[in-house]
Copies of this chain bind each other. A is one copy, B any other.
Amino acid sequence: MRKRVTIEMIAKDAGVSKMTVSRAINNPEKLKRGTLIRILNSMKKHEYKPRFVARILAGSRSNTFGFIVKSNEDFVIPPFYGECVRAASNWFKKHSYRSMIFNMSDEQSASLFIDYVNSGLIDGLILFEGTHEKSLLKALKSNDIPVVLVGEDPEGTYDFYSVSSNNYNGARMAVEYLIAKGSREICYITGIGTKPSVEERLRAYTDVMCEHNLEAISVPAENTLRGGVKAVEELIEKHPSFDALFCFTDLIAIGALRGLRKRGFDVPKDVRVVGFDNIHISEYVFPSLTTVSQDMTLMGEIAARTLLQIMDETQPNDSEKHVKLPTRLIIRESA
């Protein structure tokens, strides 16, 4: 193992003090041209890289942001969050910040992430729905970590900035579309938990059905492919006469497609199916999925931009506290 190259060695080599080398790195404009060049050369020659942890310990910003995402059975980074992350991460990059993903799937990952945060390794965070646990939010708040939520804050008690889609309108569109197409016995495969997205989409479904004097029937499912299959089976058991399914997510919908086929149903002839999210693969499955599209790229960008604004107190902050993005109905083969 080669011995580590430190700032001190560069200083000695370039015939200056450590401080001058430090300036060469952080405020090069404050140095005389000659000195700067000499130092730069020496750094290159010795392949000097400042040691990240030392800078942090001495008080520097990390210029690094984190994403906290919850895995599911099918994906370590579920596609919907993945696209938001990609967009946010590009935004950060454009502004010379770096970013990294923490997948919060267990205690162990949580501990790592907490260590990072309270060590100064992370300057700010974007939390995706599913990770908005009270204890976590509280910890972040009390440590003064800048945070933006993707998805609404379930409690609202911590007053974080948030970016989400208009879940209610999106779900309404989907159900109204199914009704317009002639479906009457529309069942809803809902999500699990008390997340706002779950509650709003369910409420929209119930409202629309009610407005049309149709019976609202919903069953819950894990947000996974398998969850979709199981929900369909439950539905066939309990309400075999449905002629359409609205699903909490595309993942569930794709599972539902499989479940329906297994039982001999044709989509869309026997049963129309609509999902939510418009993840990449929904366009490729058969039948391709009619779905409510969330603009993940825009969500990611807004989340990133908001976070930067929160942190940069010198700039005027024109970010809305709670952004709600419109959704679009994407009509494909399944309904």
Interface residues, chain A, CB within 8 Å of chain B? 1-2, 49, 51-54, 56-57, 64, 71, 73-77, 79, 82-83, 85-86, 92-93, 98-103, 106, 108-109, 111-112, 114-116, 118-121, 142-144, 225, 229, 254-255, 257-258, 261, 280-281, 283-286, 288
Contact = CB atoms under 8 A, between A and B. Distances in A.
20 contacts: A2-B142, A49-B118, A53-B56, A53-B120, A53-B121, A71-B86, A74-B280, A74-B281, A75-B75, A75-B77, A76-B86, A76-B101, A98-B108, A101-B103, A121-B121, A225-B281, A254-B285, A258-B284, A258-B285, A258-B286
Q: Which of A53, A54, A74 has the most CB of B within 10 A?
A: A53
Given A1-B144, A75-B79, A258-B284, 8 more contacts: A52-B115, A52-B116, A53-B53, A53-B121, A75-B75, A100-B112, A225-B283, A257-B284
A115 B258 contact: no
B118 A51 contact: yes
A76 B71 contact: no
Contact of A280 (B57, B64, B225): B225
Contacts of A120: 53
B101 A101 contact: yes
A288 B262 CA distance: 11
Contact of A85 (B2, B76, B281): B76
